[in-house]
Amino acid sequence: MDASLVRELVPSVIGVLVRRGADFASAEDAVQEALIRALETWPDDPPRDPKGWLVAAAWRRFLDAVRSETSRRGRELVVDAEPPSDPGPAADDSLRLYFLCAHPALPPAAAVALTLRAVGGLTTRQIAAAHLVPEATMAQRISRAKKRIAGEPFDRPGDLGTVLRVLYLVFNEGYGGDPDHTDLAGEAVRLVRQLAALTDDPEVAGLLALVLLHHARRVSRTGPGGRLVPLADQDRSRWETGLIAEGVAILQAALARDRLGEYQAQAAIAALHADAPSTAETDWVQIVEWYDELLRLTESPVVRLNRAVAVGEADGPAAGLAALAAVDPDVPRHAAVAAHLHERAGDLERAAGLDAEASRAAPSVPERDHLTREAARVRHRLRA
């Protein structure tokens, strides 16, 4: 069974049920039940019309649930109503689901989980495993998210910027270095591709280019045992040139529309890294210029932090440390950047202490282990 095909059908199947009278939460639950049934039966008996099969199975599940509530809720009219035969436009349903699942009323973690389930078609167990939390915890998170948006109309226009932020969070969850999250990054790429096919917006294209350029490096980012490999040490011959070429082409087309946004600027930085044969041969001056553009768009402290690294490469560690002085020290990974710049400036004792400090605050096990090894490596240099 083609799991990716099934997942692509999920938004349109939910949309059909909603147009037939189901509320979003009930429709989503019914489709998940139908997906489980599909996983059990399709390998031995694949349907000629997968979407029609899922619609029929999900609608039956929904009617069964409604019938069980009729005595208490008086839902007989809904049960007995003849559903319209026209399934309607699948593309519109997918786009509406993106906006609904990324509703501003939801906290980011809940929006990510609901997007993965309703739009991505992942089961609660799969989402829980990807986030390394118990299935019951994830089920509660998704249930609360569905209740929060229960009264929101399915056809109300949403905020595209919120959708893009949620999809980027999904990707970053899978790209953070934990080997258990690899599938989540791939799912995010699929979701962004789907959104790009439904919309004509240069920022959507910019996000697609960005995740493709990053995803092209995924096999080189970790070593044996899930060990994190920093950009400077990655084997660039293992980067997927096809994804890089595709990402660059998408980015160039987006930039040509002269409506620069933050994802296009980030993709431009990723493209410069992808184009360089080595760290030393990277066009750091141009990367600093793109970070300046990005700061004008976002004023993000994380962007300032990354800019300090680029300035350190372009103009030397002293300039990098001067740029770092303008960044709030509470910004995540501040100590790791400071350690890198101090080591390049020759202050090994300070660098070792900062690496140790950074390891204690690392957001993931692979990053913690990497920074611990960095602290040990610098201390070894001190003793040499």
Q: In this predicted structure, what is the pLDDT of residue 155? A: 64
Strand partners, 228: 222
> Furthest-apart CA pair in the chain: how many Å?
82
Q: In this predicted structure, what is the pLDDT of residue 366? A: 85
Q: In this predicted structure, what is the pLDDT of residue 154? A: 67
Question: Within 13 Å, how many C-alpha atoms sit on residue 370's CB side?
Answer: 25
49 CB-contact burial (10 Å; exposed 0-12 / middle 13-18 / buried 19+) = exposed
- CA dihedral in degrees (84, 89, 91, 94; nearest 10)? -20
Token representation of residue 117:
């389930």
Q: In this predicted structure, what is the pLDDT of residue 87? A: 46
More confident residue, 252 or 366: 252
φ, ψ at 155 (rounded to 5°): -105, 10
Local confidence band at 148 (pLDDT 50, 70, 90 cut-offs): confident
Q: In this predicted structure, what is the pLDDT of residue 191? A: 87
In this structure, the number of other CB atoms found within 10 A of the CB of residue 19 comes to: 17
Taking CA atoms, 122 is separated from 113, 145, 301, 328, in Å, by 9, 16, 33, 38
Average pLDDT of span 133-152: 88
Range in 153-157, 187-191, 345-349, 364-368 the model is least confident about:
153-157
Percent of the chain with pLDDT over 70: 89
Contacts of 245 (CB under 8 A, 6+ apart): none
**76, pLDDT greater than 50:** no
The answer to whether 111 and 158 have CB atoms below 8 angstroms apart is no
Average pLDDT of span 321-342: 96
Q: What is the DSSP letter of 82?
A: P
Q: In this predicted structure, what is the pLDDT of residue 248? A: 97
Local confidence band at 178 (pLDDT 50, 70, 90 cut-offs): low
**375, pLDDT greater than 50:** yes
Contacts of 45 (CB under 8 A, 6+ apart): none
Q: In this predicted structure, what is the pLDDT of residue 97? A: 83
Local confidence band at 345 (pLDDT 50, 70, 90 cut-offs): very high
Range in 192-201, 242-251, 267-276, 287-296 the model is least confident about:
192-201
Token representation of residue 232:
């400077």
Contacts of 68 (CB under 8 A, 6+ apart): none
Question: How far apart (Å, rounded) are the C-alpha atoms in residues 36 and 154?
Answer: 25
Q: How far does CA 174 lie from the centroid of its chain? A: 7
Closest-CA residue to 302 (of 190, 135, 172, 148): 172
Q: In this predicted structure, what is the pLDDT of residue 79? A: 44
**41, pLDDT greater than 80:** yes
Local confidence band at 84 (pLDDT 50, 70, 90 cut-offs): very low
Element (H, E) at 277: none
Closest-CA residue to 342 (of 314, 373, 378): 378
**72, pLDDT greater than 60:** no
**93, pLDDT greater than 60:** yes
Coil, helix or strand at residue 233: helix
